[in-house]
Amino acid sequence: MAEPTHHQDDFTIDQLAHAAQLPTSTIRMYQQRGLIDPPTKRGRVGFYNSSHTERLRLIARLQQRGFSLAAVKELIDSWNLGQSIDELLGVSQIAPSLAPEPLRLSPSELAVRFAEVELTQADIQRAAAIGLIKLDDGDVVIVNPTFADIGPEVARLGIEIGEMLDEYEALRVAVDDISERFRAVFERSLWATFINDGKRLDDVPRLVDAATRLSQLATASVNAELTSRFAEFVQDYTRQAEAAAPDAAESQS
């Protein structure tokens, strides 16, 4: 019987592993997890092709950006289902650098964080109701751990927890508006280009990089404007405080 013929870009698993600089066991594991398609069988030999090498390059690029294999699988599945920008860029761990790890605190650890601050059970329930924290099996899970440091420090400045939560709710509304505007910018430019270029799966890491960088630049822009506004009102109240101080009046007489 004649040996089965194969195309020039066909690879055995050993050849594919050599080209991708991966162990054959890794390729088999990717196949078992549905990250790459199974090879085409010709007789007793399985052959891979250029689509497999492209997929392996994509997996490597995503892993270099911090994606777990589970996140890569979610992305590929979402892509195959033709899902929307929300589902494509919003799946679990799709942009790890943008998603801080929640902080879990026991009641005693929370008490240490808020030492010398009056934190009531009602405050905790309200914080959970507005999405600042989650209550899980007796523990408090702070969704964004940054607030685990900000909250106690703001309270120690003399600002009541209730007022702080009021401002957090107002902040969420303002941030939602700002983020929607930048989202619209992303869709009109970067997303539109991606669609017009044929929606290639291999371009997704670059698209995620662009979205991540845009978020960083947007955050820096908002921070710069907010810092400028704070500087203005601090200067204003500093002048008022200096003018109202008794010793300032005496020095002017």
pLDDT of the chain along its 253 residues, tens only?
A: 333 344 556 889 999 988 888 999 999 999 998 888 889 888 888 899 888 888 898 888 888 777 778 878 877 777 666 555 445 555 444 454 555 688 999 989 988 888 888 888 999 999 999 989 999 988 999 988 888 889 889 998 999 999 999 999 999 899 999 988 998 898 898 888 888 887 777 777 788 788 888 888 998 999 999 999 999 999 999 999 888 877 655 555 5
Residue 4 covered by a domain = no
Is residue 196 a part of any domain in this protein? Answer: yes
**C-beta contacts of 180-186 below 8 A and 24+ residues apart:** 182/214, 182/215, 182/218, 185/214, 186/210, 186/211, 186/214
Same domain flag for 173 and 222:
yes
Q: What is the pLDDT of residue 105?
A: 92
**Cα distances (angstroms) measured from residue 188 to each of 27, 42, 95, 201, 232:** 38, 47, 20, 19, 34
Residue at 124 is within a domain: yes
In the numeric block, which tokens belong to residue 40? 């085409």
Question: Domains in the chain: how many in total?
Answer: 3
Do 192 and 207 contact (CB within 8 A), yes or no? no
Residue 5 included in any domain: no
Helix (H, G, I), strand (E, B) or coil at 46: strand
Residue 6 lies in a domain: no
Domain annotation covers residue 172: yes
Considering 96, 123, 140, which residue would you say is the last residue of a domain? 96
**pTM (global) more than 0.75:** no
Full residue range of the structural domain in which residue 120 is found:
100-159
